[in-house]
A and B are shown apart, each in its own frame.
Chain A
């Protein structure tokens, strides 16, 4: 059984949906709600991404809780801003395990901690994303003004994943706006490629909106960020499953 990370620490699991087999056995682990949602996707690739991500989420959490994946029950916390049931997805009260799931393109990232956590990953999108600058906090937008177009696109996506990680950690989501506080701190680039699993790393964090925020090392072509509840100036990160691209392998549908 896996040990839930202590305060200030977070476990991160990277997965490539191309490497996740989704057969009968895996599908049997999902809930009726998850099956219904998967069935309503119009395109096969979206259905597969959703299914693979949720199968892996259940398997990862099962390892910390010693509960079979299919027996896990999820609930939705209320939004701390408006009280509607649109807050963080969560396990039942008393489990002591917090998690966050994000997926984009082929990448799935799951964060597990003993306090509220938010993670986001985005594949560099097609087309120009400069229009999103209008949603940025003024202090963050300022960093992009002197940059060339490609660097500005990188900055915009870095801003987005950092802001979304914070709003997922607090449970507010982006429905109440995404630019009400700055998240960049500095225009530094992403922290390099996704690291192999193994020793924990202590990463300097920026305290934003009640969270300790870091840019997460991510696969090439992706950017990611992670926010942990609290005001700590560092986050201890353990990569339990390193990124391993499965693009050349054959995925079973």
Chain B
């Protein structure tokens, strides 16, 4: 896994987050931001939509593969987990 690949996934995930929450400010959150509860306040519906989108776009079922859901701790850990198990997002170089 390269840093460039993880950065691409990170960028794509920020876009997914902004899309499922309808909140553009989430396009700029740092990789270390916690996803559930504070500080970005993802509720259960948006969290589930995020995982569904990740499965569709990257082919990675986070809930099935990471039983403790450690991957969901922060945006960065989710990006690392997805980047290590997926092809690049569709339509990306």
Which residues of A line the B interface, CB within 8 A? 37-38, 40-43, 46, 49-50, 104, 122, 125-127, 129, 131-132, 134-135, 160, 164, 173-174, 178
Contacts and interface: CB of A to CB of B under 8 A. Distances in A.
Contacts of B45: 122, 125, 160, 164
Interface stretch (B3-11, B34-42, B78-86): B34-42
Given A37-B38, A135-B52, A164-B44, A42 B29 contact: yes
A127 B22 contact: yes
Contacts of B52: 131-132, 134-135
Contacts, number: 57
B33 to A, nearest CB: 7
Nearest to A43: B25
Interface of B: 19-22, 25, 29, 33, 37-41, 43-46, 48-49, 52-53, 56
A49 to B, nearest CB: 8
Nearest to A168: B44
Contact of A127 (B20, B38, B40, B44): B20
A129 B46 CA distance: 10
Contacts of B44: 164, 173-174
Contacts of A37: 37-38
A66 to B, nearest CB: 32
Contacts of B29: 42
A41 B41 CA distance: 7
Nearest to B34: A40
A13 B19 CA distance: 31
Top 8 closest pairs, chain A to chain B, by CB: A126-B22, A42-B39, A40-B38, A46-B41, A131-B52, A41-B38, A174-B44, A127-B19
A221 to B, nearest CB: 12
A115 B41 CA distance: 29
14 contacts: A37-B38, A38-B38, A40-B38, A41-B39, A41-B41, A42-B33, A42-B40, A46-B40, A125-B20, A127-B20, A127-B22, A132-B52, A134-B52, A160-B45
Contacts of A40: 37-39
A43 B28 CA distance: 12
Contacts of A46: 38-41
A131 B20 CA distance: 11
A132 B40 CA distance: 21
Given A37-B38, A104-B43, 7 more contacts: A37-B37, A42-B29, A42-B33, A50-B38, A122-B45, A127-B20, A132-B48
Contacts of A173: 44
A34 to B, nearest CB: 11
A43 B41 contact: yes
Contacts of B33: 42
B93 to A, nearest CB: 25
Nearest to A130: B52
